[in-house]
Amino acid sequence: MSDLWRLSAAELAALIRSKQVSAKEAAMDALARLDAVNPKINAVIDFRAADVLEQAAAVDAAVARGEDVGPLAGVPITVKVNVDQEGFATTNGVTLQRDVIARSNSPVVDNLRQAGAVILGRTNCPAFSYRWFTASLIHGDTKNPRDPGLTPGGSSGGAGAAVAAGLGAIAHGTDIAGSIRYPAYACGVHGLRPTLGRVAGYNAALPDRPIGPQLCAVSGPLARTIGDLRLALAAMSGRDARDPWWVPAPLEGPPVPKRAALCVAPDGLETTPDVAAAVIDAGQRLERAGWTVEAIETGPPMREAAELNTKLWLGDGYEAQLAAAEREGDPGALACLRGIRSKVLPFEADTLSKALTRRATLTREWLAFFERYAVLLTPVSGELPFPDHLDRKDDACFARVWRAQLPQVAIPFMGLPALSVATGLVGRAPVGVQVVSGRFREDLCFAAGEAIEAGGTPPSPIDPVS
């Protein structure tokens, strides 16, 4: 069977479990697709064909023995280059870490392997995973397969481009300020930022991060269907004692009324007409699926949450981060840190305490909001996907990028789940909607996402356009 790379993870896993297709066949097909497409987009920056085939052979052997090979049986996936995969460099997009070779897998990689997935390769990210654009001195520039003039998103830009182009049915990404949701949006696929504590994370190859990133950064999946995101989250969220934040929360919560709030311009976001139309259309899709949708002027506070998230992410240890970026010499990383300086400094002795105190207050407001509504619909970004490297053009463009990303940057501060759902195209530019819910209610995000998805999504996987 050819063109296995076109199938969803659910479809392919079912074929492999039923022995209609072997994991080796799926792996060989995925490697052939990688050879044909990846040179055009540079989404996957490290892979070993022999290792991919060895993983597939192990799945086939387990199937032959009649063993349960897991929900992702033999499905080729990708993982981002900023998490540990045994034997590979955890570069996080920087030459300074090219020799940081992982001796063990991160929990998310172990969980994906235990679910039967075959890791096809490692995907690109910008230096230090700082930007909503994906380029680095060590791994080069990733192109958006839908339009090379548009950003593929960041920092999981390689993941978004890979899934859109059929390089694996599922991609692993990480998100501290939109790094899963924005690549999904920019590449016309779906992406889930899970609740803090849902997916265990740990990189033994690197020191632990400061408390801000620990509270805001998560791993999660990107995929072409909401159904595949469900499969991927179930696989990723297994217990791992190495992560003290991990929570054994059920994947399905109690039923609640199908009531959604819709906000086109949360907290004063400057939303362009095309983006506003996509959010309104998503709300209409929900209504046709039996949801009650209420348009609201503004929801719980986003702007303050975004400001505090940025400060905790980049302000704590700012000078050390800037020094590392200067040693690396990456222009994008330097533009990010220099451009954001006034937002994160001064970082004084009581800054952390005040931020964490406000985190409790703001989180309480958001959780109270979700006592009334199952989900909140907002733009993913105030604009359609940006021209590539817009943030490096000048100070005004840098500021424009950050203003537009408010809905992404705010949500991690409260540790909430958020789903980016692709809904259509404006010319060649993808557009979509963000679905937010209460803690550990990814199931509500998925329920709304499936209703929105049923109204139409950009075709995928696709061959890269020039």
CA proximity to 181, closest of 463, 395, 406, 372: 406
Helix (H, G, I), strand (E, B) or coil at 118: strand
Cβ neighbours for 195, distance < 8 A, ≥ 6 positions apart: 218, 247, 249, 415, 416, 417, 439, 440, 441, 442
* Dist. CA 299–CA 321, nearest whole Å: 33
Tell me: the pLDDT tens digits for 314-373? 999 999 999 999 999 999 999 999 999 999 999 999 999 999 999 999 999 999 999 999
Give the Cα separation of 205 and 105 in Å (integer): 9
Q: What is the pLDDT of residue 2?
A: 77
Residue type, 315: G
* Angstrom distance (rounded) from CA 461 to CA 458: 9
Mean pLDDT of the chain: 98
pLDDT, tens digit, 9 for 90 and up, residues 49-103: 999 999 999 999 999 999 999 999 999 999 999 999 999 999 999 999 999 999 9
pLDDT at 466: 83
For the segment 168-204, what is each residue's pLDDT rounded down to a tens digit? 999 999 999 999 999 999 999 999 999 999 999 999 9
How far apart CA 399 and CA 453 sit, in angstroms, is 32
The strand order across the sheet containing 76-80 reads: 44-46, 118-123, 76-80, 170-175, 218-223, 190-193, 418-426, 429-436, 375-378, 259-262, 292-295
Please tell me the distance from the alpha carbon of residue 184 to that of residue 164, in angstroms, as a whole number.
Answer: 9
Q: Known catalytic residues?
A: 80, 155, 179
Cα–Cα distance, 16 to 169 (Å, whole number) = 14
**Minimal CA–CA distance to 194: which of 88, 122, 111, 116?**
111
pLDDT at 1 over 60: no
Kindly report, residue by residue over 133-175, the tens digit of the pLDDT.
999 999 999 999 999 999 999 999 999 999 999 999 999 999 9
Q: Take residue 287 and report the two structure tokens written for it.
A: 């209504």
Please write the tens of the pLDDT for every residue from 225-254: 999 999 999 999 999 999 999 999 999 999
CA–CA gap between residue 188 and residue 166 (Å, rounded):
12
Phi, psi of 430 (to 5 degrees): -65, 160
One-letter amino acid at 456 equals G
Q: Which domains does the chain have, with CATH numbers?
A: 4-453 (3.90.1300.10)
* Cα-based distances in Å from 440 to 199, 233, 462, 463: 11, 12, 32, 35
Q: State residue 199's pLDDT score.
A: 98
Percentage of residues in the chain having pLDDT higher than 70: 100
Nearest to 230, CA basis, from 7, 5, 8, 452: 8
Condensed to tens digits (0 to 9), the pLDDT of residues 398-424 reads 999 999 999 999 999 999 999 999 999
Q: Which amino acid type is present at position 237?
A: S
Average pLDDT over residues 377-387: 98
pTM: 0.98
Per-residue CA distances from 297 to 234, 300, 409, 456 (Å)? 35, 10, 20, 26
Nearest to 439 by CA among 367, 358, 365, 355: 367
pLDDT value of position 464: 97
Q: Report CA Rg, the chain.
A: 20
